[in-house]
């Protein structure tokens, strides 16, 4: 089988390109990345159970059809991903993320290739205690330019799919945690682990300590990708993909069990959604998927990875 992974060297992609050969032995994996974040290390020590090709290119400028032609599935991971930071570069986030998804989707439709599109549970801004994919427009209140653009991507794909021009699935991922060669540290759990190990104050948004939010382990993310492909789950629908809903306080308590002394510093943010809600993953579970990842293990693994540096 042939797979194309855009944004292949990032937090999710760098793990995915190593997991695909485990589920699909002998695969051809084409990795596309513009190297904007210079994650060269994501290409180190790739397994010898797949045939890898790396293309240094920006999907906005690349000729994608020849790259995608003959592929079984494309994973569209190319994006500027820092939600909180997206307020400072709103125009760049929208231009890059939306246009990249449009270009990848249109190329997939022309060569008849299936697409896995990543969205985000940050598109929700509900006043209800729980929310799922069937929520009304009034509950889709993205709290950042990043989330707003994800919602715009979803609508574009729904329109393209309704015309019968694209086989795809949209996965609204919870906030990712867990280790990978290209992992990032601007998301909540990873950032908290970094700060705790380094002896820095853990910076918590002033309104967020007891807010519930959805989190997704990389283990569950990888299993979800494999499940989608093996079950041909390209039905054009949106699925919430998350391991567990937790509060920031829940996360800090887990960190405290491994690092006794931590200091919390409350900070302001432009993402000031003071509501607390749970995101349901029943639709995806209803297809037969079992979320088995452990947030606790992700935290433990991340701290263990960093501990020698922070003593």
* 142 and 66 fall within a common domain: yes
Instruction: Identify the CATH number of the domain in which residue 287 sits.
Output: 3.90.25.10
Neighbours of 259 (CB within 10 A): 16
Q: Looking at the predicted structure, is the pLDDT value of residue 275 above 70?
A: no
pLDDT digits (tens, 9 = 90+) for 41-100: 999 999 999 999 999 999 999 999 999 999 999 999 998 765 444 445 566 777 788 999
Q: Are residues 128 and 266 in the same domain?
A: no
Q: Say what the pLDDT of residue 33 is.
A: 95
Q: Indicate whether 157 and 252 sit together in one domain.
A: no
Residue 183 located in a structural domain: no
DSSP string of the chain? -EEEEETTTSTTHHHHHHHHHHHSTT-EEEEEE--TT--GGGGTT--TTSEEEEEE--TTTS-HHHHHTT-SEEEE--S---TGGGGTTHHHHIIIIIHHHHHHHHHHHHHT-EEEEEEEGGG---SSSEE-TT--GGG---SSHHHHHHHHHHHHHHHHHHTT---EEEEEEPEEES--TT--SSSHHHHHHHHHHTTPPEEEETTTTT-EEEEEEHHHHHHHHHHHHHTT--SS-EEEE-SEEEEHHHHHHHHHTT-S---EEEE--S-------EE--HHHHTTT------HHHHHHHHHHHHHHHH-
Among the ranges 20-34, 208-222, 295-309, which has the highest mean pLDDT value?
20-34
Percent of the chain with pLDDT over 70: 93
Q: Which residue has the higher pLDDT, 270 or 115?
A: 115
Structure tokens at 125: 């801004």
d(Cα 115, Cα 107) in Å, to the nearest integer?
10
Q: What would the mean pLDDT of 108-136 be, rounded to a whole number?
A: 90
Average pLDDT of 109-116?
A: 97
Q: Does 196 lie in the same domain as 170?
A: no
Owner of token pair 């519930």 = 212
Q: How many CB atoms lie within 10 A of CB 127?
A: 10
Structure confidence by residue, pLDDT tens digits, 168-197: 999 999 999 999 999 989 889 999 999 999
Q: Hey, which residues does 264 pair with through a beta bridge?
A: 202
Q: What is the pTM of this model?
A: 0.92
Phi, psi of 293 (to 5 degrees): -70, 160
pLDDT averaged over every residue in the chain: 90
* Residue 182 in domain: no
* Count of the separate structural domains present in the chain: 2
132 and 14 within one domain: yes
What is the tens place of the pLDDT at every residue in 238-271?
Answer: 999 999 999 999 999 999 999 988 999 988 765 5
Confidence of residue 139 (pLDDT cuts 50, 70, 90): confident
Domain-embedded: residue 108: yes
pLDDT at residue 207, rounded to an integer = 74
- Residue 141 pLDDT more than 90? no
291 assigned to some structural domain? yes
Q: Are residues 279 and 161 in the same domain?
A: no
Q: Are residues 164 and 301 in the same domain?
A: no
Q: The domain containing residue 57 runs over which residues?
A: 2-177+214-243
Does 25 reside within a domain? yes
Cα distance between residue 184 and residue 308, in whole Å: 18
Query: Which residue has tokens 């393209």?
Result: 160
Q: How far is CA 8 from the centre of its chain?
A: 12
Q: Is the pLDDT of residue 103 over 60?
A: yes
pLDDT in the model for residue 255: 96
């Amino acid at each position: 089988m042939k797979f194309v992974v855009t944004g292949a060297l990032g937090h999710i992609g760098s793990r995915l390109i190593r997991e695909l050969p485990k589920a699909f032995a002998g695969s051809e994996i084409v990795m596309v990345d513009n190297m904007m974040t210079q994650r060269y290390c994501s290409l180190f020590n790739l397994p010898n159970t797949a045939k890898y090709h790396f293309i240094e290119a920006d999907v906005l400028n690349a000729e994608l059809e020849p790259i995608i032609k003959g592929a079984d599935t494309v994973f569209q991971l190319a994006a500027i991903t820092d939600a909180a930071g997206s307020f400072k570069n709103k125009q760049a986030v929208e231009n890059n993320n939306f246009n990249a998804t449009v270009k990848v989707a249109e190329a997939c439709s022309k060569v008849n290739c299936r697409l896995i599109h990543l969205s985000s549970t940050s598109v929700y801004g509900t006043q209800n205690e729980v929310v799922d994919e069937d929520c009304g427009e009034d509950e889709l209140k993205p709290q950042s330019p990043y989330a707003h653009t994800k919602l715009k991507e979803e609508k574009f794909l729904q329109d393209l799919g309704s015309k019968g021009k694209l086989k795809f699935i949209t996965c609204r991922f919870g906030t990712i945690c867990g280790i990978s060669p290209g992992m990032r540290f601007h998301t909540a759990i990873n950032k908290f682990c970094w700060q705790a190990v380094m002896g820095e104050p853990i910076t918590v948004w002033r309104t967020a300590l007891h807010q519930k939010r959805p989190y997704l382990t990389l283990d569950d993310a990888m299993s979800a990708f494999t499940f989608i492909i093996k079950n041909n789950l390209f039905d054009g629908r949106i699925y919430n993909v998350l391991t567990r809903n937790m509060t920031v306080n829940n996360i800090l308590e887990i960190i405290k069990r491994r690092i006794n002394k931590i200091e919390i510093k409350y900070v302001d943010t432009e993402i000031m959604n003071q509501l607390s809600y749970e995101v349901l993953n029943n639709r995806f579970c209803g297809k037969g998927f079992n979320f088995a990842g452990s947030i606790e293990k992700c935290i433990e693994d991340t701290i263990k990875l960093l501990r020698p540096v922070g003593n």
